[in-house]
A and B are shown apart, each in its own frame.
Chain A
């Protein structure tokens, strides 16, 4: 009887500790439009989602099973700010970075976020950086767009969940991965916590 009680206590404690972890990677949910000039010379709009971005990069990496990887919003993915990474679902390992949200609050550049007093909410204009040549990204050292981002951190017990939503737009210049320029725009939010 005592053994059962101790075991139950341990199980409950472990469960609490497990749920107490604060996640720093969440599924990145995106819905938007990519604009390109078609063969007839007209600008055409194509609906794109996070799965479009993921599939495009997976193809480049010769990954055929999309169920093994995810596109995630990575809080502080880099010392410069948050990143949108492609990770292995099994290990959490970052395989590549799709987008970065940098320099949204940098006094040296004259940029600032608006934050509430208790530091749980933030509105900011993040600059978007892309690092690889793909259909929707371009390896560039300058920013290629921006996101208007709302961040909120909600504490439930010992667990803190991030809520991030926003609008974003960026462009990609033609490369070997992309025959013509692309301008993308859309909205994003976070899905379930991953790691």
Chain B
């Protein structure tokens, strides 16, 4: 027979076990977060003037969706992918929301700390904060990207990671980036884009 005291003990133990399980389930470290971007695209218009157009992460997502023949934007996301392009660095990918599968890569943030290229990030002693200048690479022809072997811009990036006592890790990345796009099948004229980015909700 279980006494009330024992009942209480069982209840407490069960509660602790549930809490532990809950914390363990939440202890995963995400490697992909929504990429939140707000900026401006500059292009020469038909009158010969440089015109500026506001662009966001949704503008970029839509242009890649069009290329991939995806009509329902709610099924995909633009994400910042930590170490998405090993060994070169992080990437900004278009992924399936259902599976997390990378459908295409929008940007590579590469070679921001590569001694052989004379580039170096500033990192704190506990290795959870970094300031760096990343080179921007683009890999496909869309209105806002161009398939190119060389870098097409840079990002000034601030990365910060917080880990709680249960091992849960959350990352913060924010910065400015500027890149250019030469005319291609996806873009009739040259374009320069500039803006600010942060991370949104963790995805995978």
Tell me how far the C-beta of A177 lies from the nearest C-beta in chain B, rounded to whole angstroms: 14
State A123–B192 Cα separation when bound (angstroms): 7
User: For the complex, is B150 an interface residue (Cβ under 8 Å from A)?
Assistant: yes
Contact of B122 among A145, A148, A181 (CB under 8 A): A181
State A28–B125 Cα separation when bound (angstroms): 35
A183 pairs with B131, CB closer than 8 A: yes
Contact of B180 among A35, A125, A143 (CB under 8 A): A125
User: For the complex, is A141 an interface residue (Cβ under 8 Å from B)?
Assistant: yes
Q: For residue B122, which residues in chain A have a CB less than 8 angstroms away from its CB?
A: 35-37, 43, 171, 180-183
Tell me how far the C-beta of B66 lies from the nearest C-beta in chain A, rounded to whole angstroms: 22
Tell me how far the C-beta of A100 lies from the nearest C-beta in chain B, rounded to whole angstroms: 14
A110 pairs with B119, CB closer than 8 A: no
Q: For residue B192, which residues in chain A have a CB less than 8 angstroms away from its CB?
A: 113-114, 123-125, 148
Taken residue by residue from 117 to 151, chain A's Cβ proximity to chain B (1 for < 8 Å, 0 otherwise) reads as 11001111100000000000010111111101000
User: For the complex, is A91 an interface residue (Cβ under 8 Å from B)?
Assistant: no
User: For the complex, is B82 an interface residue (Cβ under 8 Å from A)?
Assistant: no
Contact of B115 among A43, A125, A173 (CB under 8 A): A173
User: For the complex, is A112 an interface residue (Cβ under 8 Å from B)?
Assistant: yes
Q: Restricting to B103-150, which residues have a CB under 8 Å from any CB of A?
A: 115, 117-126, 129-133, 135, 146, 148-150
Contact of A121 among B50, B179, B180 (CB under 8 A): B50
User: For the complex, is A185 an interface residue (Cβ under 8 Å from B)?
Assistant: yes
Contact of A109 among B118, B121, B150, B154 (CB under 8 A): B150
> Given A113-B190, A138-B118, are A42 and B124 also a contact pair (CB < 8 Å)?
yes
> Given A116-B49, A148-B178, are A37 and B133 also a contact pair (CB < 8 Å)?
no
The size bracket of the interface on B is: 35 or more
Tell me how far the C-beta of B202 lies from the nearest C-beta in chain A, rounded to whole angstroms: 24
Q: For residue A40, which residues in chain B have a CB less than 8 angstroms away from its CB?
A: 125
State A114–B50 Cα separation when bound (angstroms): 7
Q: For residue B129, which residues in chain A have a CB less than 8 angstroms away from its CB?
A: 43
A169 pairs with B133, CB closer than 8 A: yes
> Given A37-B123, A148-B194, A173-B119, are A114 and B152 also a contact pair (CB < 8 Å)?
no
State A35–B130 Cα separation when bound (angstroms): 10
User: For the complex, is B44 an interface residue (Cβ under 8 Å from A)?
Assistant: yes
User: For the complex, is B200 an interface residue (Cβ under 8 Å from A)?
Assistant: no
Taken residue by residue from 170 to 204, chain B's Cβ proximity to chain A (1 for < 8 Å, 0 otherwise) reads as 00000010111111000001111010000000000
B191 pairs with A110, CB closer than 8 A: no
B133 pairs with A145, CB closer than 8 A: yes
> Given A144-B118, A171-B133, are A118 and B124 also a contact pair (CB < 8 Å)?
no
User: For the complex, is A99 an interface residue (Cβ under 8 Å from B)?
Assistant: no
Contact of B131 among A43, A107, A138, A140 (CB under 8 A): A43
Interface residues, chain A, CB within 8 Å of chain B?
A: 35-37, 40-43, 107, 109-118, 121-125, 138, 140-146, 148, 167, 169-174, 180-183, 185
Q: What are the nearest 7 A-B pairs in CB distance?
A: A41-B125, A117-B48, A140-B118, A110-B148, A146-B154, A148-B178, A169-B156
17 pairs, CB–CB < 8 Å, chain A vs chain B? A35-B131, A37-B123, A37-B125, A110-B146, A113-B190, A113-B192, A117-B48, A123-B42, A124-B180, A125-B179, A145-B133, A167-B178, A169-B156, A171-B120, A171-B121, A173-B115, A183-B131
With A114-B42, A140-B118 known, 9 other A-B pairs at CB within 8 A are A36-B122, A111-B150, A112-B183, A114-B44, A116-B48, A117-B47, A125-B154, A141-B118, A142-B117
Interface residues, chain B, CB within 8 Å of chain A?
A: 42-44, 47-50, 115, 117-126, 129-133, 135, 146, 148-150, 152-154, 156, 176, 178-183, 189-192, 194
